[in-house]
């Protein structure tokens, strides 16, 4: 475990010293600030819009962070030949993947936490109460973010960074569609489309902005189930990524 955690901390320091993360964080903060202005323009005198758009912003932020943080890590390591001495001697491929993943996940956690706190501050500045489920909802979005991070790592082992981003975004969109909607993309291949959709993740389990914005309580057991589901899918994607990585020759 020591090599993995050391490598995760190396990754964390590496990502923080590069500028990508700061760019994404600034975009999220600007988006939150913009959302905070909505009631001021008289669209609503309630906090519903702030919560709804704020959580939506965090959801998109999780996606952007995953792509921005992880899409380029492996290709850069390979291109700059920093991968070779690491894999040749101190690290196994599994340790490399887990170290990079945990490092990127730590940065993502910090950024999402900052986003959640930012949303709370905006609610307070507008004289609104902070719903009790807001923090658990943000945690679910963080689990979604980790899952997306695993997806980006998986794609990064067999595609280029310019292809990784659209593929991840496509998966993000398709994974929120109901089966009926997914089938309507290709109605002639109904059976195939049904099976394909049911194999894709159900990312709607992570999205609870609607009940929170409308003040509907969420049972605690649901948070637990959705978190376990997200972590299991993340583990599945990481195992797939490692299987691809292990099959690769490092020329």
Partner 1 sequence: MTDVPIKVDNLEKSFRKTLGLSGFKAVDSLSFQVNKGEILGFLGPNGAGKTTTIKCILGLLKPTSGNILLWNDFPGSKTVRMKIGYVPENPDYEDIFTPLEFMTMFSSLRELDISKDQILSILERVGLEAWVKVRIRNFSKGMKQRMSLALALQSQPELLIMDEPTGGLDPAARKEFRDVILEENSRGATIFLSSHLLSEVETICDRAVILAKGKKVTEGNLDDLLRTEDLFSISFMAPGTESDVHEEKEVVAAELQKTIDELRQNGQNILEVKPVYRSLEEVFLSATRGGKL
Partner 2 sequence: MKYLKLIILLALISLTGCRIDYDIEEVAPPEHLGETHEHEHDHTGAETEEHHEHDITAISGSDRHVHEAGARNHGTEWFFNQPWAARFIWSKMIRDTVILIFLAAVILLASRYRLRKKR
Measured CA to CA, the distance from residue 38 to residue 233 in angstroms comes to: 36
- Site mask for partner 2 (CB under 8 A), range 77-96, x = bound: --------------------
Asked if residue 1 binds partner 2 (CB under 8 A), the reply is no
- Apex 48 CA angle, 24 and 177, nearest 5: 65
Find the binder of partner 2 among 82, 163, 210, 215 (CB under 8 A).
210
Asked if residue 56 binds partner 2 (CB under 8 A), the reply is no
Pull the structure tokens for residue 138: 């943000």
Asked if residue 20 binds partner 2 (CB under 8 A), the reply is no
Asked if residue 178 binds partner 2 (CB under 8 A), the reply is yes
Residue 189, Cα to own-chain centre: how many angstroms?
31
CB of 84 to partner 1, least distance (A): 5
Stretch that binds partner 2, among 31-39, 56-64, 123-131, 241-249 (CB under 8 A): 241-249
Phi and psi, residue 38, nearest 5°: -55, -50
Q: What is the 3-state secondary structure (H, E, C) of 110-154?
A: HHHHHHHHHHHHHHHHCCCCCCCCHHHHHHHHHHHHHHHHHHHHH
Asked if residue 58 binds partner 2 (CB under 8 A), the reply is no
Burial class (CB in 10 A: 0-12, 13-18, 19+), 16: middle
Q: Which residues of this protein are in contact with partner 1, per CB under 8 A?
A: 2-3, 6-7, 9-10, 13-14, 17-18, 80-82, 84-92, 249-251
Instruction: State which residue, 25 or 144, has the beta carbon closest to partner 2.
Output: 144
Measured CA to CA, the distance from residue 203 to residue 197 in angstroms comes to: 12
Instruction: State which residue, 70 or 226, has the beta carbon closest to partner 2.
Output: 226
Asked if residue 211 binds partner 2 (CB under 8 A), the reply is yes
Asked if residue 202 binds partner 2 (CB under 8 A), the reply is yes
Site for partner 2 in 110-149 (CB under 8 A): none
CB of 223 to partner 2, least distance (A): 9
Closest to 115 (Cα-Cα) out of 172, 31, 47, 171: 31
| Direct distance between the N- and C-terminal alpha carbons of the chain, in angstroms, rounded to an integer | 28
Binding site for partner 2 (CB under 8 A): 178-180, 194-195, 197-199, 202, 204-205, 207-208, 210-211, 214, 218, 221-222, 225-226, 228-229, 232-233, 235-236, 238-240, 242-243, 246-247
């Amino acid at each position: 475990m020591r090599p993995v955690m050391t490598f995760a901390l190396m990754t964390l320091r590496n990502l923080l010293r590069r500028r990508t993360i700061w760019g994404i964080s600034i975009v999220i903060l600007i988006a939150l600030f913009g959302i905070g202005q909505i009631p001021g323009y008289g669209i609503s005198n309630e906090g519903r819009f702030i919560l709804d758009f704020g959580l939506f912003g965090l959801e998109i932020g999780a996606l952007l962070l995953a792509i921005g943080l992880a899409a380029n890590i492996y290709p850069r390591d390979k291109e700059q030949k920093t991968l070779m001495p690491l894999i040749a001697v101190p690290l196994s491929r599994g340790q490399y993947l887990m170290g990079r993943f945990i490092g990127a996940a730590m940065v993502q956690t910090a950024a999402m936490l900052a986003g959640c706190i930012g949303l709370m501050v905006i609610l307070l500045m507008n004289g609104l109460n902070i719903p009790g489920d807001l923090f658990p909802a943000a945690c679910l979005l963080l689990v979604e973010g980790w899952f997306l991070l695993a997806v980006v790592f998986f794609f990064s082992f067999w595609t280029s960074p310019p292809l990784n981003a659209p593929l991840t975004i496509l998966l993000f969109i398709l994974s929120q569609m109901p089966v009926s909607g997914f089938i309507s993309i290709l109605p002639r291949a109904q059976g195939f489309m049904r099976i394909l959709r049911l194999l894709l993740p159900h990312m709607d389990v992570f999205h609870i902005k609607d009940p929170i914005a409308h003040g509907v309580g969420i049972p605690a057991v649901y948070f637990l189930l959705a978190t376990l589901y997200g972590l299991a899918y993340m583990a599945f994607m990481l195992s797939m990524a490692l299987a691809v990585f292990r099959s690769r020759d490092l020329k």
